[in-house]
């Protein structure tokens, strides 16, 4: 397996289909080219054998009928590119062992016939060279020196044609695979951009039947999800509105109670109920989508203002690091996320530290650090669920509704950002907000 570790199967569907099509078509083209050349060589060899059979037999017959003193003058006229005639015994050698030479010798024997007994041998040092020895009617020795050609040479323009064919093959493969995978790319892009606001661009419902059907199904799914989320927000908003009246009546009745001890407890319960209703409506609105329009802001000024507000309120909040460049983001949503994270840090540790830095890949990382009890590793993702509480440390006695982190996560998703939690070495928690694709070029 280590021997093939350098081979990597492409990860994208586009690359895989293009590779399969190109390799398959290139192999088919190569096989077709090889078959064509093989058939061409065989045809040329057969034609050459017939030509040798006719020409050599007629040349031998002509030399046999010529007077002995005129034969030498005719030798240059009878010579051809692949053979020539020599008046003499020639060169002795070994029996021929090449397939082409055997066919040439057999063709000469078939053409001359039995009138001129002949012998054939290969010329030492040259595999594809042979000499045919015979005697004319008057006993004069005649040698036919043969250099068989294995086939016709390739034309100069043939490699250019092959290169052009490969270029056309690559272009056709690229075009075909792109047309086949572009709808999938658009579908994946639409799914990625379908955030909590449910305002992603609708897919065009044209093209092949399979593509249009998938686009219609995706658009219908997006409409259904938007309807469900709207109904959910409307239900929570209606509940919140309907609960305001009985809560107000209960608060008025508590105010006229004579028992101050019980009244204080009831006021606290009513305050928690009102806070829970407001947080529930806020969470529903973040699920439905953020209506805030992204704009260009100075993140350093925003962080500095946030920290100053906490410091003025007597809270131990500090800021470390600067970003330097401006960002295109939703400032109110960003402030709400960081406020929720800082509130959690102050609630469970009494102090919070905000750090800001630009990552090597161009993303922006803003972290809120504390030295509180932290969160068990198995619950780092579960705490983002609505109304989730950790009974050991972050329970109802410490306050809160269990929606702060859920709201922060939903707002982060609406901003195309990532919010994660990490336990710090030495104790405490790090809430890291990573902003992607928000830095304006």
Q: For the segment 378-434, what is each residue's pLDDT rounded down to a tens digit?
A: 888 888 887 777 654 444 455 456 677 888 888 888 787 889 999 988 888 999 999
Torsion 296-299-300-306 (CA) sign: positive
Beginning with the edge strand found earlier in the chain, give each strand of the sheet holding 118-122 in spatial order.
Answer: 83-87, 141-146, 130-135, 118-122
The mean pLDDT value for 159-185 works out to 80
- Mean pLDDT of all residues in the chain? 77
CA distance linking residue 150 with residue 99, whole number of Å: 10
Question: Does residue 58 fall inside a structural domain?
Answer: yes
CATH code for the domain in which residue 416 is found: 3.30.565.10
Count CB-CB contacts under 10 A for residue 81.
7
- pLDDT at residue number 285: 63
- pLDDT at residue number 402: 67
At residue 127, does pLDDT exceed 70? no
Kindly give, in sequence order, each residue whose CB lies less than 8 Å from that of residue 74, ignoring residues fewer than 6 positions away.
62, 63, 66
At residue 132, does pLDDT exceed 90? no
Judgement on whether residues 336 and 400 belong to the same structural domain of the protein: yes
Phi, psi of 365 (to 5 degrees): -120, 125
Half-sphere exposure of residue 270: CA atoms within 13 angstroms, side-chain side: 19
- pLDDT at residue number 367: 93
The mean pLDDT value for 79-89 works out to 84
Kindly give, in sequence order, each residue whose CB lies less than 8 Å from that of residue 145, ignoring residues fewer than 6 positions away.
83, 84, 85, 86, 90, 123, 129, 131
Question: Does residue 258 fall inside a structural domain?
Answer: yes
- pLDDT at residue number 440: 45
| pLDDT one-digit tens code per residue, 193-211 | 665 555 666 777 776 777 7
Structural domain ending residue among the three candidates 83, 118, 146: 146
∠ CA 286-288-292 to the nearest 5 degrees? 60
At residue 368, does pLDDT exceed 90? yes
Judgement on whether residues 285 and 417 belong to the same structural domain of the protein: no
| pLDDT one-digit tens code per residue, 237-286 | 677 767 777 877 887 777 777 667 777 778 777 777 777 777 666 666 66
- pLDDT at residue number 378: 86
State both tokens at 67.
Answer: 């007077």
Judgement on whether residues 322 and 379 belong to the same structural domain of the protein: yes
* Residue % of the chain over a pLDDT of 90: 9
Predicted TM-score of the model (pTM) = 0.49
CATH code for the domain in which residue 207 is found: 1.10.287.130
Question: What is the number of domains present in the chain?
Answer: 3
Structural domain ending residue among the three candidates 245, 267, 289: 289
Q: How confident is the model at residue 439 (pLDDT cuts 50, 70, 90)?
A: very low
Question: Does residue 330 fall inside a structural domain?
Answer: yes
E strand intervals along 21-156: 83-87, 118-122, 130-135, 141-146
| pLDDT one-digit tens code per residue, 289-318 | 556 778 888 888 999 999 999 999 899 999
Do residues 360 and 325 lie in contact, with contact meaning Cβ atoms separated by under 8 Å? no
At residue 114, does pLDDT exceed 80? no
Judgement on whether residues 198 and 280 belong to the same structural domain of the protein: yes
Question: Does residue 114 fall inside a structural domain?
Answer: yes
At residue 71, does pLDDT exceed 70? yes
At residue 354, does pLDDT exceed 90? yes
Which residue segment(s) compose the domain that 353 sits in?
Answer: 293-435
- pLDDT at residue number 392: 47
The mean pLDDT value for 33-43 works out to 77
CA distance linking residue 238 with residue 233, whole number of Å: 8
- pLDDT at residue number 396: 45
- pLDDT at residue number 394: 43
The mean pLDDT value for 95-124 works out to 70
Structural domain ending residue among the three candidates 289, 323, 354: 289
Least confident of 60-74, 93-107, 158-172: 93-107
By C-alpha distance, which of 281, 299, 413, 407 is closest to 354?
299
Question: Does residue 265 fall inside a structural domain?
Answer: yes
- pLDDT at residue number 151: 54
At residue 63, does pLDDT exceed 70? yes
Judgement on whether residues 281 and 350 belong to the same structural domain of the protein: no
């Amino acid at each position: 397996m280590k021997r093939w570790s350098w081979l990597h199967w492409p990860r994208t569907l586009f690359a895989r289909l293009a590779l399969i099509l190109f390799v398959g078509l290139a192999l088919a083209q190569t096989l077709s080219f090889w078959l064509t050349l093989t058939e061409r060589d065989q045809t040329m060899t057969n034609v050459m054998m017939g030509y040798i059979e006719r020409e050599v037999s007629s040349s031998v017959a002509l030399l046999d009928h010529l007077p002995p003193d005129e034969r030498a003058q005719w030798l240059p006229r009878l010579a051809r590119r692949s053979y020539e005639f020599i008046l003499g015994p020639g060169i002795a050698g070994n029996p021929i062992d090449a397939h082409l030479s055997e066919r040439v010798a057999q063709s000469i024997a078939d053409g001359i016939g039995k009138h001129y007994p002949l012998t054939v041998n290969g010329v030492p040092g040259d595999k594809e060279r042979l000499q045919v020895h015979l005697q004319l009617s008057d006993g004069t020795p005649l040698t036919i020196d043969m250099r068989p050609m294995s086939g016709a040479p390739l034309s100069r323009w043939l490699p250019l044609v092959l290169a052009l064919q490969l270029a056309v093959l690559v272009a056709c493969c690229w075009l075909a695979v792109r047309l086949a995978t572009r709808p999938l790319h658009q579908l994946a892009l639409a799914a990625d951009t379908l955030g909590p606001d449910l305002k992603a661009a609708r897919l065009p419902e044209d093209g092949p039947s399979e593509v249009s059907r998938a686009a219609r199904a995706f658009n219908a799914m997006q409409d259904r999800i938007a309807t469900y989320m709207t109904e959910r927000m409307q239900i929570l908003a209606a509940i919140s509105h309907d609960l305001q009246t009985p809560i107000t009546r209960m608060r008025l009745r508590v105010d006229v109670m004579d028992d101050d001890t019980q009244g204080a407890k009831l006021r606290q319960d009513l305050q928690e109920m009102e806070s829970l209703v407001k947080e529930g409506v806020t969470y529903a609105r973040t699920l439905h989508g953020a209506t805030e329009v992204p704009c260009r802001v100075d993140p350093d000024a925003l962080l500095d203002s946030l920290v100053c507000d906490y410091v003025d309120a007597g809270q131990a909040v500090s800021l470390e690091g600067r970003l330097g460049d401006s960002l295109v983001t939703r400032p109110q949503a960003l402030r709400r996320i960081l406020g929720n994270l800082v509130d959690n840090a102050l609630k469970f540790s009494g102090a919070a530290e905000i750090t800001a830095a630009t990552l090597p890949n161009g993303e922006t990382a803003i972290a809120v650090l504390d030295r509180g009890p932290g969160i068990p590793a198995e619950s780092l993702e579960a705490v983002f669920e609505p109304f989730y509480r950790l009974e050991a440390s972050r329970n109802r006695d410490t306050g809160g509704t269990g929606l702060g982190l859920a709201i922060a996560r939903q707002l982060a998703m609406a901003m195309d950002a990532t919010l994660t939690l990490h336990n710090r070495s030495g104790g405490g928690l790090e809430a890291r907000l990573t902003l992607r694709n928000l830095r304006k070029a």
